[in-house]
Amino acid sequence: DPAHREQARATAELAAELAPDNVDVLVTVAGTLGRVGAPDTAIQLLAHAESLAPSSLPVREAVWSGLRGRDDLSSDEKLEVVLQDIDELLAAHGRTQAVLYTAQRQLNGSGAQERATAMADEILRDYPDSREAEGVLIGRHRALQDQLWPTRPAPGEPVPDPDPEVLAQYRQALHD
C-alpha cells in the first residue's frame, strides 16, 4: 500500500532526525526504510551508524543486509563487498566466536557456503561450549528438518514420509 509506505518512510525519517546519533534507532530506521523501498536512505543511515559504532557486530550485520537493497551492484559484487568487510572485521577483531558466528550466519546461503561451513566448523571445534556453537547446531538441525519436510502440511493433513537418505543424515546428526 503506497500510503502505508509513505507513512512508514516519514515516521522512520522523523525518528532518525530525533535521534541522529542513536545507533539502535538508526539501524531500526534503516531496516524500515529498506523494507518500504528507500534503500539509498537506509544505506546512508547504516553508514552513519557504522561510523558511530565501527566494531558493533549488529551494525555490521545490518550493513551487510542493507547491501541486498542496492540496485547498483550485482549479486557477485554485493557478496564481494561483504566478504571483504568480513576479512577486515576478522583482521581487526580476531577469530572470536561472536565474529565468526555473525559472519557465518550472513554467508549462509549467499554463494559462499563453503566459507560459512568452515566458519561454523571452526566455532564447533574451537568454542564447543559457547552460545554460538549451540546456534550453529540449531541451524544445522533446522536445515536438516527443512530437507526432511520441505513443505509443511496444513493442520490436519498427514505429514509426508521423509526421504530415507536425508532421514539417515538427520539421525546421524542427532547422535553426533
Mean pLDDT of 72-87: 90
The residue behind cell 536438516 is 144
Q: How confident is the model at residue 86 (pLDDT cuts 50, 70, 90)?
A: very high
What is the percentage of the chain residues whose pLDDT exceeds 90? 36
Q: How confident is the model at residue 42 (pLDDT cuts 50, 70, 90)?
A: confident
> Mean pLDDT for the chain?
87
Three-class SS state of 160: coil
Whether the CB-CB separation of 99 and 122 falls below 8 Å is answered with no
Mean pLDDT of 136-151: 85
pLDDT at 134 over 90: yes
pLDDT score of 6: 82
Instruction: Please name which of 83, 15, 23, 97 lies closest in space to residue 54, comparing C-alpha atoms.
Output: 23
Q: What is the DSSP letter of 176?
A: -
Whether the CB-CB separation of 46 and 16 falls below 8 Å is answered with no
Q: How confident is the model at residue 176 (pLDDT cuts 50, 70, 90)?
A: low
pTM (2 decimals)?
Answer: 0.78
Which grid coordinates are listed for 161? 514420509
